[in-house]
Amino acid sequence: MPESFDSMLAELADAAGGSVALPDLAAVRRRAGQRTVRRRMTASAIAFALLCVTGVAGAAIDGRLGRPGGVNTASAPSGSSAGATGATGATGASGSATPSPKATTSSAAGQQPGSSFVGVWETNPVQGGYLLVFPDGVVGLSEVGGASLCYSRVSDALTASQVAAADAAAHSTSTAYTSTSVPSVAFAGSAASPTPSSYTFTLPFGEVACDNYGAASGLMLAKMKGESALTLTLVSPSRASVTGDDASYSRVLAISSTATPATGLKQFIGDWTTINSDGTVTQSLRIEKDGSVVYTNSGGTSSPVADFGEIDSYYSVGARVLTGCSKAGTTPYCGVLLLQPGATASELTVYSGSGPATFTRGG
Amino acid sequence: MPDELDFDEFYTASFRRIVGQIYAMTGNLAEAEDSVQEAYARAWQRWKEVRGYGDPEAWIRTVAYRLSVSAWRKSVNRRTAHRRAATSPELPGLTPDHLVLVSALRRISAEQRRAIVLYHLVGLTLAEIAEETGNPVGTVKSHLSRGRKALAPLVSEFAEVGAGGPRRSGAELAGEW
C-alpha cells in the first residue's frame, strides 16, 4: 500500500461522511419528538390497561357481592408453555429503578395475579436467546458476546403495582383485548408495528433498552394465531437497513417473589466454575459473604469479560444478581444474573448472557 | 435559544465526521447514518446534559456505535446467513487500495475494529479509548495488537507492526505501548 494506514482510513471515513447528505435539523428534532410521543403512547396504553383492569376487578367484586349489575370475572389465566405460576407471589419491593444495594427480601408491595410475563423465557432452542422478567419489572436479555444478561426494565416509569396490573390485564384478554388489531409498540427507531395477521392478541407494556445507550425494543405479550399460549415478544425497530423483527419467547421457568430462604446467602457463598470436557474453566463465579459477586466468562467472546455485582433479592427460583456498568450511564446497572440452586449443594445453575450453565463448587 | 444554536452548530460540524467514523467501525454506511441520526435525536432530547459532558462528540459516537452494534447483534441473532450476506453497497469512487482496506477491516472483530478506528482515525489515546469503550487499558491494547496482527497479512503497512515494529511516532508509542 503506497499510503499510510492512518491516511487511508481517514480518506475512507471522509468518503463515507461526504457521501451522505446532512439531514435537515428539523428532521432530527422531529425524530426526537417522535420518540417522546411513542413513550407517551406507551404510557397511555398502560394507563388504558390499568383502567380496564380496574373496571374488570370492580365488576368482579360487584359480582361476588351480588350487587346488581355485576358481571362475570375475567377469564382464567391463559396457559403459557410452562404453565401459569402461583397467584400469590409478591412483587419486588419497589418500582424504583434502583434496587437495594444489599440483599433484601422482596416485600409484598403488590400481588402478581397471574404472572403472565414474569419468568424465564426462551426463544427457540436453535437461537438459544433468553429473556428474564422479574416481578419488579427488571428484565435480563441475552445478547451475543455478553457476559451477564443485559439489564433493563420494562419501562422506566412502570411501578411494581403497574406491572402487576398489566399482568392481570393480560389474563383479561377474552373480555378486554381479544382483537386482531395490533396496538402500536414503543420503538426507538422508525415506527413499525408487528404483523397484525400473526397475532390474535397483543399487549404492549414497555420499552426495553438493553444497555445504557443501546437500541430500545418494544416488549409485548402476545398470542400467536392458532395458539393458545401467551408468548412474550420483543419487537425490534425498523431501521434504515434493517427491517423490524419480532423475537418470540416461550416461558420455561416461572419466577415469583418469596421470603429470604432459610439458607439465605450461605448456600451461594464460595467459588463456582464451569468445567469443560478438557478440564478448562470457561465461566467462574465468586460470591463473598457480603453478597458481592464477581463473574467471569472467557468462552464465546473475543476476549474474557468480568462483571462485578451483588445479590440484590431472592425469588422462588433463586437469587438475582445485578452487575454494575463499566462506565457511568443512564442506568444504575448493566447486567443481570440468576442463580438457581442445583440438585445438590455443590451445583449451581447460572443464567447469564450465554444461557443457563451448571457450575460446580470449587475453583 | 442558545441551546438550539449550540446544538445546531455542533450537529452541522460533527455529523458527517461521526458517520465516517461509525462507518469505519461497522462497515455499513446506511446503518451508520441511521444510528448517528438517532444518536443526535437522543442528544437533542437531553442536550443540556450532553452538552455538559467534556466531549459531546464522544457521547454521540458511543451512542451511535452501540445502536449500530445492537442492531447488528440482533440481525446476527435472528437472521444469520442471508442477513450477513446482505452487505451495504460500496462507496463510490474508492480506489483499489481503499477496497482492500474495507475488506481487511471486515475480517477483524468488531471490538478490534472499534479500537483501531478510535486510535488511528479519531486519534484517541489508549486511556481515552478505554474510557469511551468501557474496557480496561490492557484490553484496549490487546484489541489493538490483535487487530493489527490480523490486518498484517492484508495491509502491508501492518506487516512490520505485526512483527513488532513501530506504527506511530516513536515518542507516542513508547508512552502507550
Determine contact: A40 vs chain B, CB below 8 A: no
Whose cell is 411494581? That residue is A160
Determine contact: B45 vs chain A, CB below 8 A: yes
A22:B29 CB<8 A = no
Q: Which residues contact A183 (CB under 8 A, 6 or more apart)?
A: A45, A202, A203, A204
CA pair distance A272, A348, nearest whole angstrom: 8
Q: Which residues contact B7 (CB under 8 A, 6 or more apart)?
A: B43, B44, B47, B51
Size of interface A-B (CB pairs under 8 A): 168
CA pair distance B95, B156, nearest whole angstrom: 16
* Best to test chain B binding among A4, A6, A7, A9 (most B CBs inside 10 Å): A9
CA pair distance B12, A189, nearest whole angstrom: 22
What is this model's ipTM? 0.78
Q: Which residues contact A221 (CB under 8 A, 6 or more apart)?
A: A116, A117, A170, A201, A202, A203, A205, A230, A231, A232, A233
Cell matching residue A279: 478440564
pTM: 0.43
Cell matching residue A332: 444504575
Please give the backbone phi and psi of residue A164, each rounded to the nearest 5 degrees, phi first. -65, -40
Determine contact: A37 vs chain B, CB below 8 A: no
Determine contact: B89 vs chain A, CB below 8 A: no
CA pair distance B152, A355, nearest whole angstrom: 35
Map B18-40 to HEC letters: HHHHHHHHHCCHHHHHHHHHHHH
Determine contact: B25 vs chain A, CB below 8 A: no
3-state secondary structure of A250: strand
State CA A183 to chain mean position distance: 20
Task: Point out the residue among B17, B28, B73 whose CB comes nearest to the CB of A143.
Answer: B73
Confidence of residue B22 (pLDDT cuts 50, 70, 90): very high
**pLDDT score of B16:** 92
Determine contact: B139 vs chain A, CB below 8 A: yes
Cell matching residue B92: 463510490
Q: Which residues of B touch A28 (CB under 8 A)?
A: 11, 37, 40-41, 44
Contacts 24+ apart (CB under 8 A), B153-160: B154/B100, B154/B103, B154/B104, B154/B107, B155/A1, B155/A5, B155/B100, B155/B101, B155/B104, B156/A1, B157/A1, B157/A4, B157/A5, B158/A5
Q: What is the pLDDT of residues B52-94, one digit of tens each?
A: 877 889 999 998 888 877 655 554 444 433 333 334 445 666 7
Tens of pLDDT along chain A (363 residues) come to 445 888 888 988 988 888 888 887 777 877 776 655 555 555 556 666 666 665 555 555 444 433 333 332 222 222 222 222 222 222 222 222 233 333 333 332 333 334 567 888 887 665 567 888 888 878 887 765 557 787 777 654 455 665 565 555 555 544 333 333 334 443 333 334 455 455 555 555 555 655 433 455 666 666 565 665 666 766 665 544 444 556 677 778 888 877 766 667 888 999 998 876 666 667 889 999 888 998 888 765 446 677 888 998 898 889 999 988 765 555 677 789 999 988 888 889 999 877 788 898 886
Q: Are A275 and A283 in contact (CB under 8 A)?
A: no
